[in-house]
Structure 1
Amino acid sequence: MTDWIAIGSINDIPRRGARCVKSPIGTIAVFRTVDDKVYAIEDRCPHRGGPLSQGIVHGAQVTCPLHNWVFSLETGEAQGADEGQVRTFALRLEGEVIYIDADLAMAIAAE
């Protein structure tokens, strides 16, 4: 059974923006798209460690602010000619409250 932890309100995140959540595995970036979908990925680009939470959100993707690598917010995979992947985390939206899958985050921390 999945444990879900409330991490804030969707209204705390501007459309096409992000907020960060600290976790046992590091910082997780929580994104809100223009159509109010929410996604969570690790906040570190595998290329040079750029803070993805400070990147530009377009559709269901984010562009790293350091070197313009693009990542899918849905899968975490680099897009186009870029290579690499960031971890993704399951979110659930109930009304305005965002919940993160605590079991997944803890399992990754134990790796």
Structure 2
Amino acid sequence: MSETWHSLIAETEFPAEGKIATKIAGWHVLVAKTEDGLFAVNDRCTHQAALISTGRIRRGAVMCPLHGARFEMASGRCIGGAYKDLRTFPVRVEGGQIEVCIPDEAPGMDELPVVL
């Protein structure tokens, strides 16, 4: 599967709350800055397909606002429940711009959040 780097935002303009949710090439993406760096995950809880970006991020993990499962931002690994891991996307800073590498293939139904 091929992937493409997409410019997201200038590093200096990253939100003070430490996260940004966006849609890139059909993918819902959550990018967060933790004490360990910048990380990007698919913005979809693997339990009930909710947007994970509305949850809190603490100690490098995002918490699902629906049921409290926690997922490590760095690896996508579920650490607070028995759910599938989140898909992660590579992140880099090039020329002061934060970029995210997204698959060229559109997300399948099992990758899309339920957005009400």
TM-score range, shorter chain: 0.7 to 0.9
Cα deviation, residue 72, structure 1? 0.9
Cα deviation, residue 43, structure 1? 0.6
- C-alpha contact (below 8 Å) 1:41/1:86 kept by paired residues: yes
Aligned length, in residue pairs:
106
| Residue 114 of structure 2: aligned partner | none
2:89 and 2:95 map into 1 onto residues whose CA distance is 19
Per-residue CA deviations over 1:23-51 (Å, capped at 9, x if unaligned) read 33431111122x37211101110111221
1:48 and 1:19 map into 2 onto residues whose CA distance is 21
1:7 maps to 2:5: no
Corresponding letter in the other structure for 2:25: P
| Residue 20 of structure 2: aligned partner | 19
- Unmatched 5+ stretches in structure 2: 109-116
- Normalized per residue, the structure richer in helix is 1
2:94 and 2:30 map into 1 onto residues whose CA distance is 19
Cα RMSD, aligned residues only: 2.4
More RCO (CA 8 Å, sep 6+): 2
2:100 and 2:58 map into 1 onto residues whose CA distance is 22
Corresponding letter in the other structure for 2:72: S
- Unmatched 5+ stretches in structure 1: none
